[in-house]
Structure 1
């Protein structure tokens, strides 16, 4: 017959074993990064993050940081997927898209806007100075000029040369993961910079900007300026952004989906993967031929990504390990 003392000893030992067993079955996750933290898509995100960190590192607001960060690739004349040096549409027009969203759910965007070098600036102005969420085309340009921004020709000599070369065949076939290829004449792209940041106060903001698909139909708009597709932020949960062929992101309301999955308890990477799998399940044949990637961060500062194809990468900057590029996980292994 067990004495009360022996029963307590056995019960304590059993509890300890159960604890060990549970720990082995469910190992503790790595600690979340210390705030602030900023993440962004592709290798050009490293320079963008560095600029964002000049604000975040001083205790600044995430909204200011993401705007300043994405303006770096917007101004880069060697970047033909974002901003002023972006390749034109098939009619020779450089049209830019961007959106921004803050921790309060405020948002603004511009689409198919010409003649203004920094669409992210205009997107923020739409958010803060108008009752609207989106302005498009000439209306967006007009608004930007009224706000004091310079109207200028954006078609660079290099972009114009590539456009005229494309006109010889008029063959449209975007190259996946174009930012990883530096070969001249091989810049026909569909990539974007999306950035998400959490500041020292724990508030989240995001920005997304692109010149869209090179040699697209005039007037085409992808996911990048569409709140819920190219970007979505919920300060209670986290934020998400996307890159790649925007049509499939729009069809699945991709970034909103990722955030809602995180609300349900998914990790950022698992949420991104599920959003990718929605594309695979709905359009398996299309999914094999295109690239789409999602990047997300939750309220804890944990982040992750997932893409259709091999080759997607994202940049991370925080107080512990700045300026690093991480290879995103993917569904299809490239044969190239």
Structure 2
């Protein structure tokens, strides 16, 4: 059975208030009583609730992180950047996802109400923006990742999705490709809109397939277009997973890469250099974005004003054999 504060108070012959004061080093407790309470805590193996300690001290020394899903291929790198930074500052991390819709938001709101964390890092905020805005205005420090400065009321760390799309287009154009196919991600993500706009600003095309960032999406898009007789000489997929589906479909159809069709992805996840052929892609600095967002939030919690403008970390084109 779990040892409670009441058990400690009874064994030490003091009130629960006195035990709380000893744990949180608040209020006046004479040295002899404090020593007795600490001895009982040690004997009983009592572990104070971190939430209760945080409430008493005015800080939980915990950071929250809200993400759409943990299944995104680059999420692990971004999360590692956040974890490394907050742990180095002696903070903990509470992780929340939005993949269960209203149920996830309700669970997250409960933790906010309980003051379970001091500030929040958020990835792709669209579906929770109204809720986050209310929390931010109510005093909860929030830093957005990958927001591209679309919501200036929040401090943010962004990457150059528009320029990333444009760099993919320039690379294909300079290689002599004139008939590109673009396979996007879900349209409600701002990064998708930016990548598409950047690409089309350099290499316009009417071949745009609305995708969902999955391997089957990339594969089926290519299969269907080839079956219908539509010709294209290059593909820009909005992430590496859908680009892998493109490569699979082209290989099955007997089309050579890059001889017949060049392929460019986006993200540069570890898989990208192991596809057949290795994938040319636009690298996102995901770990660095996580580190920078966590540092920004911790600095804000420490009293440093947040910057007025988004912190921009650039993308980089990584050239491999699928589009040399």
- Normalised by the length of structure 2, the TM-score is 0.24
- Normalised by the length of structure 1, the TM-score is 0.24
Larger radius of gyration: 2
- Pick the structure with more strand per residue: 1
